Structure 1
């Protein structure tokens, strides 16, 4: 890994200089979504096309993630409270300019009684160019999130 990031806690999600928040409703239950996020880490590439490789480390306390284009992350799981929240901090990455990064997934039952409202928060800090690029990347990250949720929902519905 090229660089170690600042070790932040879950409070960083609300205080980060850059916060990208995306939401999507899916028909899968919160339990099914949580399982895919937190318990089937190696399954991420099957529904999140940006992820090429994912594996749990340290008995599930960490993760190693590889993305298309070669970006890599070593992560620590900060919260895994089924079926409501799953969050992790990036400890090391080869992404230039990143200083701190936390991703939080919040899951809530839909008001209709079936399905889940999924909220993904991408909280980051970094150099000015890094923050600028993240702002430009908002639309692409949003599209990747929507596509991933659609794919996950289809995948879970097959079970």
Structure 2
């Protein structure tokens, strides 16, 4: 495995290669959050993901769902390239009064990869509730706005990878989030 420099939650805002994507889903923020953190389900909805699993034993919380403390790690195999990642931000909004209406933030930094292609890579996902106004009851949550930001720096001898990575990552996340919405709907209809 090749070492990759870890960085912060804000690296995607200043990285040499920056990706930003915003997708509205019909699924609730709680359902999207739960599905994103169900690592073994990723191959079912995210393009080219062969496997995804936590590599840090995780404590269980309510409903036997895992809790993802800062510093916990996962391994993801995307098209045969393996990435080891560390959780650098995790806020499910539970510290606030109205959990359903609070943004949820999840970010990870790559710290090793099976191919020496990256100097640094951080991805950040923010989930925000989408509202519909009702005359009688105020507002209702009707979906989720997913804001994805990724930042990376490729090794100096592979500059041609920058536009390819940017295009492929944007396509993968857009397609993956659309498939995620379908996956959640199918799981609920079982």
Normalised to the residue count of structure 1, the TM-score between the two structures is: 0.89
Deviation digits for residues 106-144 of structure 1 (CA, Å, limit 9, x no counterpart): 111124331111111111113345454132333332222
Q: Tell me by how many angstroms 1:147 deviates.
A: 1.6
Aligned to 2:44: 46
The aligned counterpart of 1:15 is 14
Structure 1 or 2, whichever has the larger Rg, is 2
Cα distance per residue 1:15-61 (max 9 Å; x no partner): 222111111111011111111112x1111111102211000121241
Q: Is the 8 A contact 1:19 1:124 kept in 2?
A: yes
1:63 aligned to 69, 74, 77, which one? 74
Question: Of Structure 1 and Structure 2, which has the larger fraction of its residues in helix?
Answer: 1
Pairing 1:92–2:102 present: no
Measured on the aligned residues, the alpha-carbon RMSD in Å equals: 1.7
TM-score w.r.t. structure 2 length? Answer: 0.75
CA contact (8 A) 1:98 1:130 kept: no
Q: Which moved more, 1:5-14 or 1:27-36?
A: 5-14
SS class of match (1:22): strand
The within-5 A match list for 1:1-159 is: 1=1, 3-38=2-37, 40-60=38-58, 61-68=72-79, 70-82=80-92, 84-112=104-132, 113-158=141-186, 159=188
Residue deviations 1:90-110 (CA, integer Å, cap 9, x gap): 010023331111111111112
Residues matched between the structures, number: 156
In structure 2, the gaps of 5 or more residues are 59-71, 94-103, 133-140
**Kept after mapping to 2: 8 A contact 1:99/1:125:** yes
